[in-house]
Amino acid sequence: MGVSRRFISLFALLLIMLFVCVKASTQKTERNSRYIFQENNQLSLSSDDKWINEHAADNPEEIASMVDITIRNSTERRNLGYFSCGTGNPIDDCWRCDRRWYLRRKRLANCGIGFGRNAIGGRDGRYYVVSNPGDDDPVNPKPGTLRHAVIQDRPLWIVFKRDMVITLKQELIMNSFKTIDGRGADVHIANGACITIQFVTNIIIHGVYIHDCKPTGNAMVRSSPSHYGWRTMADGDGISIFGSSHIWIDHNSLSNCADGLIDAIMGSTAITISNNYFTHHNEVMLLGHSDSYVRDKQMQVTIAYNHFGEGLVQRMPRCRHGYFHVVNNDYTKWEMYAIGGSANPTINSQGNRYLAPVNPFAKEVTKRVATDNGQWRHWNWRSEGDLFLNGAYFTPSGAGAAASYAKASSLGAKSSSFVGTITSNAGALSCRHGRIC
């Protein structure tokens, strides 16, 4: 009877313990359910916020927030091993990991960042294959030539059948909604006239070599199927942007032109210059027409992930009037200065790496051109998170007005310690079918 009572007591104890465990498990499940619900709810809000940022391009601060998230996500994916080719460069990580990129070329148009992020180029048009490198007649270009492609009055995504060197007799005057996509071929625009983007919109130039550009002009040149006209002498810029908007210049190699490598003037705006490799040139980049041309006060340009390499002297860039975001670029020496300006531009330098030359009189990154201290000390020029090597230094100025810097902010800067990685593939890429670029 004692044994039976002990058995009943043990059995009752086991039932009690089982009941307690089941209840605890139920409570834990309810707590987890509440946690998952909260987490999902937060995820939903985050997605909504991202959607708002993606569609609120008029506000530079929101652009900066959106791209900052993109950069962080890009880095996190790389850390998790999702991308074998991930670099933390949000433009490259958007498309370069796809081995079948050549079948999905137009995805590039969705990878833009900064002030030129809305440039779609020829995304909504057909492909045009350039098969002829000639430029025999700038007024009546032959089908299959680059000039025939860029003057068309419809969107086109322009690619190249094979490697080629295109020596232009006169300026290549582009029409709106065009992409020049050099991926998959070694395409050089060299030893003649080069590219003019004038009074047009939505242009992407990607993956070409532009060098040894020369002054041309005093000739008739066609700019559309229905119009040609007299062109006066051009300066010999690599890429000249004149009164145009929504322009993206990405992954090109530029060097040794008669005037500037890239100039943007006469009210141009909404421009991103990214992932380019600049070498062997004096006056690299001019942004703003003249001190007296006040329409350039609305100019906004992003200069990101570029490598300013060997043999450069000055103007990386030289700015007037507008708002300029210089972010995560690699400056490997200059002869005179890196960043200059006049006429009260706002310059926002973030996360760059500046390596000064040996010359002890050329260590300063900045130069106020032909302006006395009493004027420029009020200009908003700032440096945040930049890395200065070999005695390089940046002279800041201004009161740091938040509204001014908001207009000169276009993406979230990464630490300058990552600049070497981010810019390691600057310039035209070697892309081949079936391989990651």
pLDDT at 86: 76
Residue-wise pLDDT for 123-148, tens only, equals 999 999 999 999 999 999 999 999 99
Which one of the listed residues 315, 320, 368, 382 is annotated catalytic? 315
Residue-wise pLDDT for 400-434, tens only, equals 767 789 899 999 999 999 999 999 999 999 999 98
Contact criterion met (CB below 8 Å) for 399 and 378? yes
Q: Residue 139: count other Cβ atoms within 10 Å of its Cβ.
A: 12
**Which CATH number does 90-422 carry?**
2.160.20.10
Amino acid at 23: K
Residue 102 DSSP class = G
Residue-wise pLDDT for 73-131, tens only, equals 454 434 433 344 677 899 999 999 999 999 999 999 999 999 999 999 999 999 999 99
- What is the average per-residue pLDDT within 370-374? 83
Contact criterion met (CB below 8 Å) for 241 and 271? yes
Q: Is the pLDDT of residue 193 over 50?
A: yes
Q: Which is higher by pLDDT, 24 or 344?
A: 344
User: What is the distance between the alpha carbons of residues 260 and 258, in angstroms, rounded to a whole number?
Assistant: 7
Contact criterion met (CB below 8 Å) for 387 and 359? no
Residue-wise pLDDT for 303-343, tens only, equals 999 999 999 999 999 999 999 999 999 999 899 999 999 99
Q: Is 6 a catalytic residue?
A: no
Ordered strands of the 262-265 beta sheet: 172-173, 195-198, 239-242, 262-265, 285-287, 318-320, 339-342, 366-368
Residue-wise pLDDT for 218-243, tens only, equals 999 999 999 999 999 999 999 999 99
Residue-wise pLDDT for 30-77, tens only, equals 333 333 323 333 323 233 333 232 323 455 555 555 555 455 545 443
> Which residues have C-beta within 8 Å of that of residue 8, sequence separation ≥ 6?
none
- What is the average per-residue pLDDT within 154-175? 98
pLDDT at 109: 98
Tell me the domain boundaries of the chain: 90-422
